[in-house]
Structure formats: C-alpha cells, structure tokens
Amino acid sequence: MIFVDTGAWFAAAVRNDPDHAAAMAWLERNREPLLTTDYILAETAALLRMRDKTVRGHRLAVRVATSILRGES
C-alpha cells in the first residue's frame, strides 16, 4: 500500500503543473493499492479550488475528489 499526499493528487489533476507528466505516468503504471486520508482529500480539493476560483475550478475539485473516493485515480 502506498500513501499518496496532496502534491501527487494535485500534480496529476493540473495539466500545466511541472510534475503532471511524472504523476500521471506513475499513477498509470502503479499496481499497489493507494492510501490517502480525508484530510488529504479536503486539502487537495481546497487547493484545486483556490487555484481557480471559477465554476471550472469548482468542477475540477469535485471531479478529482470524487475520482479519489471511487478509487479511479
């Protein structure tokens, strides 16, 4: 089991993040179960929302949080 922190979730979600490609590649090839906490989930959603305070930012935060909760990441 691998613990995933906010930085990795954020990098995977934000295409222009400098670590986006690396985060996506790692998530795609990783076969271990991922572990995170509700605090990390809340922090990730808040960071995404604060980065883009429009409706688009809100939708991205909801989509990413939902994906993490469903284990689709």
Sequence-distant (6+) residues with CB within 8 A of 60 are 13, 48, 52
Q: What is the pLDDT of residue 52?
A: 86
CA angle 70, 33, 63 (to 5 degrees): 25
Percent of the chain with pLDDT over 90: 84
Q: What is the pLDDT of residue 73?
A: 62
Name the 3-class secondary structure at 45: helix
What does R_g of the chain's alpha carbons equal in angstroms? 12
Verdict on whether the full-model pTM lies above 0.75: yes
Check: CB of residue 41 under 8 Å from CB of residue 6: no
